[in-house]
Chains A and B, each alone.
Chain A
């Protein structure tokens, strides 16, 4: 299937400087984390690993990550003012340098988003030219590529009972949306599945409806909007 790179991953993204991996890519990781968390966070902590940790100030990686969490596009000139805008929005943020381990790409960040009792941790890497990969969501090892694809993804956290996912897949098919691929990761008795959808874009209402009416499902997140380049 078309997980192939786009020509516009190379001739792009259109972005605000200074660095595609440290600014644009960082912004994109922030956007993904925000989409996965689904809520508007009150508190965000960024753990910067490798090169991200060494040079984040000069590359405005901190501004870009924070801007991404506030859903700014990589080409938004307001990225410059992310700190002030976060303050206006009463979003608490903190940047810490942390060695996350050798297995991670040098441009990696762990983002912990919080709102009241809700908490989520997302690890993402900026792999060059603004392209990113999400490699961990909470305790689940995943592999989500942030490229300009026509394929849309749903991230589903659910029980290990195989009927739960089958049931959900049937409901999605009923909406006239095909599932091209399902990739699952395990942690204890929970499963995290990434469903690559084909055909039309799933609406937010449909996602919320699915989440509400399914048993054994912790959450469903749609990443469809993010897969467009800015």
Chain B
């Protein structure tokens, strides 16, 4: 196939459709959101077009700072857990027979078909006192009496890792399949144990993939708002939960928009920092 830069205006037409979609479904709504975030809130009514910073000012308090910090921390924890679990898992999966891989991948894909609601309710039942997994431990004589494991931070983390795990595997899988097996073979020939070969050869070779996966899971987890409500206490509610409260229950669109814009900016900032840090590391 010959690749050459587009010659005429007509050559750009295939771009029109995606560009239009992106404009209609992303740029315009996001622009509207930014505009609304500066509107004047009418308490007991709706909002009027204006250009005020009240909504941002209300957000810049220790309280919302704490919630934002918690949300970011939670998303980072989910990303790290997912990658730590998924990397060895996917690596071993790629070494397996084709038929075994297919079964595993179909199973993981089927998890993706579950909605957040179903995942949340399933885990809250598994973690409950009356019907949860602690009852099995009691039956086995490992525990004195059944107890509830939810609501707690661990429960939220478990639910969110469960939800993000299939994505993590699916993103890592192609890179690991393409990884040249002679690399690890060379390491083994030179006397490295399989574990050492994994950490000194496979992990460094996949550095960029791992960073990209961390960022993807982080952003995915940041938007979660149902699982923290179903499995956590109020102090485990993420900023997304409070945004929903403002938008749907308080009909305070300007404030909800301001919080959402802030969240997007912080996220973009963190992603940019990660990418820059990655580049510097590469140059060194």
A binds B: no
